[in-house]
Structure 1
Amino acid sequence: MREEEKALKRVQKLCERLRRDGCALLAIDGRCGSGKTTLAEYLHQQYECPVVHMDDFYLPKNHRTKERLQIPGGNIDWERFLQEVLRPLRTGKPAVYRPYNCKENTFGEPKTTCPGPLTIIEGSYSLHPSLRVFYDDEVFLTVSKEEQEKRILKRSNPEILQLYKKNWIPMEERYFSNYRIAEGCSLVLDTTEYQALSF
């Protein structure tokens, strides 16, 4: 059995345990290009569970002060995510939120996520210290720098890759190191060599 297949079985076992407990929240954090969205989509297909993406909660431009962005993880609107998603789901209520579009600096139409046996929160910054206490379990995905750049380039273009290298990757790394995000996660998976889900 290949390593990625073993890893998937470990994640599935974790999800099945959480589903038995009911109304569970699973966070999938990790480096960009490590396969967070791919894994979340796979689990969504397997368990018909809702997925909420942290990409919908980046901080709007008018809130991006110098002071705010100096804080590790300050580029995510964790306050809105906490109020609109985590607190409602944790109390068994639907989460209603409007996804933020970074490119257009606009909010989309409202989305509703109803609580179920398992809800997945996917994306970098999902394990921000102000959010972490709300989860039932946590998975962290990592990837080598070389493979990370290869995957980012594959899904975008050289110009976007340079933006990642200059801005977004350093911000992520500062968040990971300052808050020791990988520590305490039930599963830490290195997806560098994984091919099964086209990471």
Structure 2
Amino acid sequence: MVEDFSALAARVLSGPARCGPVRLVAVDGPGGAGKSTFAGRLASALGGAPLVHTDDFASAEDPLGWWDRFEAQVLAPLGNGRPGRFQRHDWERGELAEWHDVPVVPCVVVEGVSSARRVVAGRLTLAIWIETGRDERLRRGLDRDGPEALGFWRSWMAAEDRHYAADRTAERAGLVVDGLPALPHDPGRSYVRLR
């Protein structure tokens, strides 16, 4: 079913704020699923809502164990009605880089692998899962990172598989979106809902 981002934004804004005064939306799914694109379009439909990428916390060496820093620097402050502030992880240099502010606003969008993990479920206004086949995700990843990244992608996908099997994120999502839709639609304004 084709749905408009504007209607999704209205749904989010009419939902309860569960992270202090903030409506927190998580756009989750495995690497290469299309999360960043979807989240950017949703953030725009929400009037330019702040968009936080979990890739700014994760690293090749630590794909999923960075949550404590995200909790301390973003979620805890927002939950207490204070701005968040985090230091971006620079993947190329392998170290923390510049600081970013996350204001206290009606809605903040978080996107990335494990952004809707079970530990944050009670603070989310909406968890969105992007469903895309494994072969397509790998193709997208290698198109972006180059064929020499195949080993990295295999290792990353294995870590994702373990996490999602234990967390069961997709089953808890309030919205599941087709990351490679065949149904005709205007991707700048709409998306294809699976459930």
> TM-score, normalised on structure 2?
0.82
SS of structure 2 residue aligned to 1:109: strand
Aligned to 2:159: 171
Displacement of 1:128 after TM fit? 2.3
| Alignment pair present for 1:53 and 2:53 | yes
RMSD value over aligned CA atoms?
2.4
| Structure-2 separation of matches of 1:136 and 1:59 | 27
Contact preservation (8 Å) 1:60, 1:100: no
Structure with the higher strand share, 1 or 2: 2
Displacement of 1:159 after TM fit? 1.1
Aligned to 1:30: 29
| Structure-2 separation of matches of 1:197 and 1:170 | 30
Aligned to 1:181: 169
Equivalent positions of 1:1-199 (< 5 A) are 6-7=2-3, 9=4, 12-21=6-15, 23-46=22-45, 47-58=47-58, 75-165=64-154, 167-193=155-181, 197=187
The gaps in structure 1 that reach 5 residues or longer are 65-72
Displacement of 1:175 after TM fit? 0.7
Displacement of 1:118 after TM fit? 1.2
Name the amino acid aligned to 1:129: R
| Structure-2 separation of matches of 1:40 and 1:177 | 23
Count of residues paired in the alignment: 181
Q: Percent identity between the aligned chains?
A: 27
Segment drifting more, 119-128 vs 151-160: 151-160
Displacement of 1:12 after TM fit? 3.9
Structure 1, residues 82-118: CA drift from partner, whole Å, max 9, x if none? 1111121123210011011233221112110102121
Displacement of 1:42 after TM fit? 1.3
Segment drifting more, 156-165 vs 12-21: 12-21
Structure with the higher helix share, 1 or 2: 1
The gaps in structure 2 that reach 5 residues or longer are 189-195
Contact preservation (8 Å) 1:76, 1:125: no
> TM-score, normalised on structure 1?
0.80
